[in-house]
Chain A
């Protein structure tokens, strides 16, 4: 019950920026359950602040704004760094929110250098093969907020006309600070203490929030709404700031939260919520000694 209240409150808060910033999708494809990679996913060795689309199409500006930077490829030039965004256009909108359209075909954006005004829905180019990508020649899309110094999950600013992937908690593993693992599929009697709760990482599907509760009391909520830099690491906010090493200690696990078990009967509840408020929940009755 308490979890449900938290979820509704969170979703109401999430609705606010959507009402304030009526952005449109940068590509006609709005079935966000088909995207190749989502905000918060492990991508390479970092937590991705990008959304990777799945259609090679024209790319349009989400809203009117100003083209503040055109990142170029420099394969014919000497001594320049090559951005893994390839050819990209960064547009600042009037509210300190910026959108990034990357992995563009440079031949389709030539006229955008030193053109500053961009109107809503204006075609910026076509997705190409200029960025670092292993997903295909698709648009890499980002949003960041220069006022709050955060990378923003693009989904919370866009129309929610698409479907979302069905979440699956999958195989849950507990791990103590010494690295001792407990697979809850086979172990229900475990020592008291603090544990990290992991699920098996899914390369496509991504929760918007994860909640961990013990005996009905929520102990941690990790939200994939924004990311911020802490001590040189891009972090997701939970009870503390989690970097890629914390969230994804290897290529298989994803952190869902931390939990403290005291001796006795404990019910561990794990809830994953997508942007539409759909939940995947699982509970385990544990005998803590």
Chain B
């Protein structure tokens, strides 16, 4: 009896101590939540010109393209008949029988003319021309003259560039990477499929890695890196359902994660861990953008007239999604803001962690 009482006397303080220790050690601060706050909406026809040093942000909606600022000023708004190429720095409207292309800066000032027939492609400050026939491309200098070109026997089906390279994928399943002087750094056919074709391609910022969606029966994703003059496959996976349309492939800024669109889904590949994840996404992914700190990934997809923005945190975790209908749409990211273009309007959504 006395023994039981003694035990009880010991158990009660021990329990209290255990609870206190548990509470202390289990305590951790609550996760920061990401908040999306609408800031402004502006109509793209309300041009206010360039009277500040704000960074220009490009837009393209329907048959109108131009630049705006983070504070909501439309710097330039240009209507075009056929098509237009635009990058962060350059804009180029063109026609179907284009024999010369005028390039303009964000203020609308002409910077040069490409005096060759074809369609321009602009990526940041990089200028390319896709000559007639679809089998070749030319790297163009800032003054509009060709620097180098590459012609092939079958059509280009995928094309991408980065600060340190260019990659082209072809209808015969060949993927070629070039350095900035036009020298071939990688050339290979992924193989592994009964029918070879490259449907989407990307090149890393340093130009050393390429990735692509390739082949039919079976379709697969591969990533390869330049290794002692050869291409070394560093990751591959077969895809279930297949597509025969062009598709998006994109490296993140550090090139440790690569994203690609497959039928009704987004593939996310962590190259460091050789691990992959698939997220269902309906329709076709048209844009993949990253926040400046790299924490957030914004995916714009289109299914008919329905556009969906999907936000991923820490590269992989789906944290938000919202949809809207429209004829055309785009997304851009700058600092801690997401810009969404929709028909003839652009909206800014500020992003903060609280």
Interface residues of A in 120-174 (CB under 8 A from B): 129-134, 140, 142, 144, 146, 149-151
B132 touching A44, Cβ below 8 Å: yes
Tell whether, in the assembled complex, residue B155 and residue A90 are in contact, meaning their CB atoms are under 8 Å apart.
yes
Residue contact B153 to A68, C-beta cutoff 8 Å: no
Q: Does A269 contact B (CB under 8 A)?
A: no
A residues less than 8 Å from B184 (CB atoms) = 232
A84 touching B153, Cβ below 8 Å = no
A43 interfacial contact with B, CB 8 Å: yes
Identify which of A113, A142, A233 contacts B155 (C-beta below 8 A): A142
A48 to B134, CA, bound (A): 10
Main SS at interface, chain A: loop
Interface residues on B, range: 35 or more
Beyond A78-B60, A114-B243, whether A68 also contacts B132 by CB under 8 A is: no
Partner of A151, one of B118, B153, B199, B248: B153
Q: Is the CB of B134 within 8 A of A84?
A: yes
In the complex with contacts A71-B246, A131-B96, A232-B149, A84-B133 CB distance below 8 A: yes
| Interface pair B151/A85, CB less than 8 Å apart | no
A43 contacts B130, CB within 8 Å? Answer: no
Instruction: Please state if B172 and A144 are interface contacts (CB–CB under 8 Å).
Output: yes
Which one of B155, B196, B197 contacts A83 once the chains associate, using CB atoms below 8 Å? B155
Q: Does B216 lie within 8 Å of A129, measured CB to CB?
A: no
| 0 or 1 for each of B183-225: is its CB under 8 Å from A? (1 = yes) | 0100000000001110100000000000000001000000000
Neighbouring B residues of A49 by C-beta, 8 Å: 133, 135, 153
- The CA of A46 and the CA of B151, in the complex, are separated in Å by 8
Known: A83-B156, A146-B154. A69 touches B244 (CB 8 A): yes
With a 10 A CB-CB cut-off, give which of B128, B156, B172 has the most chain A CB atoms.
B172
B contact residues around A90 at 8 Å (CB): 155, 157, 171, 197
Contact with B along A19-47 (1 / 0, CB 8 A): 00000000000000000000000011110
- Interface membership of B260, Cβ < 8 A: no
Contacts of B154 in A (CB 8 A): 98, 100, 142, 144, 146, 151
A64 at the interface (CB under 8 A from B): no
A92 to B245, CA, bound (A): 14
- CB neighbours (8 Å) of B118 from chain A are 44-45, 84, 132
**Are B151 and A83 in contact, CB atoms less than 8 angstroms apart?**
no
Report the Cα distance A165→B287, complex, angstroms: 48
B121 is an interface residue with CB less than 8 A from chain A: yes
Query: Does any Cβ of B come within 8 Å of A234's Cβ?
Result: yes
CB contact list, A51-68 vs B, under 8 A:
66-68
Most B C-beta atoms less than 10 A away, residue of A43, A49, A132? A132
Question: For window 260-275 of chain B, which residues contact chain A by CB distance below 8 Å?
Answer: 263
Q: Do A84 and B287 touch across chains, with their CB atoms under 8 A apart? A: no
Report the separation of the CA atoms of residues A45 and B138 in the bound assembly, to the nearest whole angstrom: 11
- Residues in B with CB closer than 8 Å to A232 are 149-151, 182, 184
Inter-subunit contact B132/A84 (CB<8 Å)? yes
Question: Contacts A48-B132, A90-B155, A142-B155 given: A132-B98 contact, CB under 8 Å?
Answer: yes
B228 at interface by CB-CB < 8 Å: no
A82 within 8 A of B: yes
Please determine whether B244 and A114 come into contact, CB atoms closer than 8 angstroms: yes
B49 contacts chain A at the CB level, 8 A cutoff: no
Any B CB within 8 A of the CB of A70: yes
Q: With A76-B328, A84-B132, A142-B155 in contact, is A149–B149 under 8 Å at CB?
A: no
Residues of A with C-beta under 8 A to B163: none
Instruction: Report the bound CA distance from A79 to B158 in whole Å.
Output: 12
The distance in angstroms between the C-alpha atoms of A21 and B27, with both chains bound, is 75
Q: By the criterion CB–CB under 8 Å, are A69 and B327 in contact?
A: no
Q: Is there contact, CB below 8 Å, between B327 and A114?
A: no
Q: Is A197 part of the contact surface with B, judged by Cβ < 8 Å?
A: no
B66 to chain A, nearest CB (A): 13
Given contacts A71-B155, A84-B119, contact A234 B136 (CB under 8 A): yes
Query: In whole Å, how far is A77's beta carbon from the nearest beta carbon of chain B?
Result: 4
Asked whether B85 is an interface residue with its Cβ less than 8 Å from the other chain, the reply is yes
State whether the Cβ of B72 lies closer than 8 Å to any Cβ in chain A: no
Question: How distant is B175 from chain A, measured CB to nearest CB, in Å?
Answer: 14
- Nearest CB in chain A: distance from B330 CB, A: 4
* 17 examples of A-B residue contacts, CB within 8 angstroms: A67-B244, A70-B245, A76-B328, A77-B286, A78-B331, A81-B128, A82-B85, A83-B155, A85-B134, A113-B243, A116-B216, A129-B96, A132-B98, A140-B133, A146-B196, A150-B153, A234-B135
Query: Sorted from nearest, which 3 A-B pairs have the closest CB atoms?
Result: A85-B134, A44-B117, A134-B97
Contacts A78-B86, A130-B96, A149-B172 known; list 11 others, CB within 8 Å: A45-B116, A45-B118, A68-B244, A69-B245, A72-B245, A78-B60, A146-B154, A151-B153, A229-B151, A229-B152, A232-B184
Which residues of B come within 8 Å of A, CB atoms? 58, 60, 62-63, 83-86, 96-99, 116-119, 121, 123, 128, 130-136, 149-157, 159-160, 171-173, 182, 184, 195-197, 199, 216, 242-246, 248, 263, 286-287, 302, 327-331
